[in-house]
Each structure stands twice: as C-alpha cells, then as structure tokens.
C-alpha cells in the first residue's frame, strides 16, 4: 500500500490551558518566518467557531497543520497532501511543529504535548477504507515508525472507529509519555 495522505495527531496534555484562538498570531508568525522546514506556509484560517472542528488551520502546500479539536480533544494534527517520505517523515514534521509550539514565547510554557497516545489517519478512502484489512496492512509501518522513537514503549494499535463511513484512523497507545524533544532526537532521517 503506497499511502501518501497520512495524518498524525499529537494530543495536548489534558487539560490544555490554552485558548484555540491564541494560535492565530502564532501561525501568522510562522508564515512570516517560514518556520516549518520543507514546507511552503500559505495562510491561516480560523475555524474555532466549528464545534470539535479543525480549530485553527495553517495551510501549507505540502500538508496542513491544525489545532484540531476532534472529540473535544485539542492536539496538533498534521496531514500530508503531497507525496513525501513516508510515515517517519510525517511524524518528524508533526513533532517539530509541536516542539515549536511548546517553545513559543506567546504560550509561555502553558502548552505541553503528551506522547502516550497518538492518532494516525489515512486520508484516502480508495486505498485505505476504514476496516480491519487496512488496519492489518498499515499496522507494521505505524508500529515500526513508533518503535524507533519510543523503543521501550508497549505499542498497541486499534481502529478509532468501526464506522465504515469514517476515514481510516487508528489510536496508538504507546504505554509511556516522553517529551516531544526526546522523540525527535531519535529520528535521524
């Protein structure tokens, strides 16, 4: 399976003491500095009025970042739109973005991400319908990518929803929560 449109969401530590609208100026600053490597950052969109929606969206040519509020849980979602280097590369991008947010002076250390649970989604219903077959196919790649960054983790992967209408998404429980920086340091590619 040659999946390209993959997304990864890293959840904010609960409860995140940050208002979703605080990310609007931060993302604008990212555009001014073109702060995300290998990404052409284009625009910021405010969807904070949508219940459990994409929150604040940072549109890039290669993939979109959003302060996603799905299920009422804040997190940074990155999903790839253009062909890339696979799931490890996507994981690296989202972790780098998390790291930038954690270090942002405007948030003054109020935002931390947790890594004991991660969501991985496939934004491609043709290649990856939401079923067990896709789960079997995608599981090895997801496990492998996460074992590299959480070598002592006890990784469990399950479908987020059994509703065939939903896009394919899995909930990955890693058994431990290390810092974003620690995970990033283990990605060498």
Partner 1 sequence: MPTWEEKLTDKIDPQLADEISVFETEIQLRKQGKLDEKVFAETRLRRGAYGQRYDNGHRNDGIRSQELKYDSDLTKGPDTLWDAPGMQRIKIPFGGLNPDQMDMLADLAEEYADSVLHVTTRQDFQFHFVHIDDTPTLMRRLAAVGITTREACGNSIRNVTACPLAGICRTEVFDVVPYAKASAKFMLGHPDAQGFGRKFKIAFSGCAGEACGLVNMHDLGGIAVKRIENGKEKRGFALYVGGGLGAVPHDAKLFDPFLPEEELLPTTQAIARVFARLGEKKNRAQARVKFLVAKLGIDEFRRLVLEERKILPHDPRWTSYLANLNRDTEKPLKAPSHLNGQKRPEGFDAWFTTNVYRQKQEGYAAASITLPLGDLSSWQMRELAQIARRFSGDSVRTTVEQNMLLRWVSETDLPALYQELQRIGLSDPGAGTIVDVTACPGTDTCKLGISSSRGLAAELSTRLAAKSYSLDEGVRNLRIKISGCFNSCGQHHISDLGFYGVSRNINNRKVPHFQVVLGGQWQNNAGAYGLALISIPSKRIPEVVDRITDRFVRERQHAESFQSFIKRIGKRELARMLEDLTRVPSFESDPSFYSDWGDPRVYTIGDMGVGECAGEVISVAQFEMAAAERLVFEGQLSLDDGDYTKADAHAYDAMLQAALSLVKVEFMDVPNEPDTVVSEFRTRFYDTNLLGDRYAGSKFAQYLFRRHESPPKEHTQDQAHRIVEEAQLFIEAAHAGHDIIAERRSKQP
Residues forming the site for partner 1 (CB under 8 A): 5, 24-25, 28, 31-32, 40, 42-43, 45-47, 49-54, 57, 59, 61, 64, 66, 70, 81, 123-127, 165-167
Nearer to partner 1, 28 or 171 (CB): 28
Nearer to partner 1, 28 or 110 (CB): 28
Nearer to partner 1, 19 or 176 (CB): 19
Nearer to partner 1, 53 or 84 (CB): 53
Task: List the one residue out of 158, 32, 37 whose CA is nearest residue 92.
Answer: 37
Provide the terminal-to-terminal Cα distance of the chain, rounded to the nearest Å.
22
| Least distance from partner 1 to the Cβ atom of residue 152, Å | 34
Instruction: Using DSSP bridges, classify how beta strands 156-159 and 41-47 pair: parallel, antiparallel or unpaired.
Output: unpaired
| Least distance from partner 1 to the Cβ atom of residue 189, Å | 22
Nearer to partner 1, 63 or 153 (CB): 63
Instruction: Kindly tell me the sign of the dihedral angle through the C-alpha atoms of 70, 72, 73, 75.
Output: positive
| Least distance from partner 1 to the Cβ atom of residue 126, Å | 6
C-alpha neighbours within 13 Å on the C-beta side of residue 22: 15
Measured CA to CA, the distance from residue 106 to residue 104 in angstroms comes to 5
| Least distance from partner 1 to the Cβ atom of residue 57, Å | 6
**Preceding omega of 158 cis (within 30 degrees of 0):** no
């Amino acid at each position: 399976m040659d999946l390209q449109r993959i997304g990864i969401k890293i959840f904010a530590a609960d409860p995140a003491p940050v208002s979703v609208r605080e990310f609007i100026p931060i993302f604008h600053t990212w555009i001014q500095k073109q702060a995300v490597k290998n990404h052409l950052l284009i625009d910021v969109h405010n969807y904070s009025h949508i219940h459990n929606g994409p929150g604040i969206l940072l549109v890039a040519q290669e993939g979109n970042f959003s302060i996603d509020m799905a299920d009422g849980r804040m997190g940074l979602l990155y999903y790839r739109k253009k062909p890339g280097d696979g799931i490890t590369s996507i994981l690296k991008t989202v972790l780098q973005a998390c790291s930038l947010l954690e270090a942002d002076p405007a948030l003054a250390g109020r935002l931390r991400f947790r890594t004991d649970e991660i969501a991985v989604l496939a934004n491609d219903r043709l290649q990856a319908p939401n079923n067990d077959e896709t789960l079997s196919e995608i599981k090895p790649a997801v496990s492998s990518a996460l074992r590299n960054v959480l070598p002592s983790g006890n990784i469990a992967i399950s479908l987020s929803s059994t509703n065939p209408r939903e896009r394919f998404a899995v909930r990955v429980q890693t058994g431990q929560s290390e810092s974003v920086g620690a995970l990033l340091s283990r990605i060498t590619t």
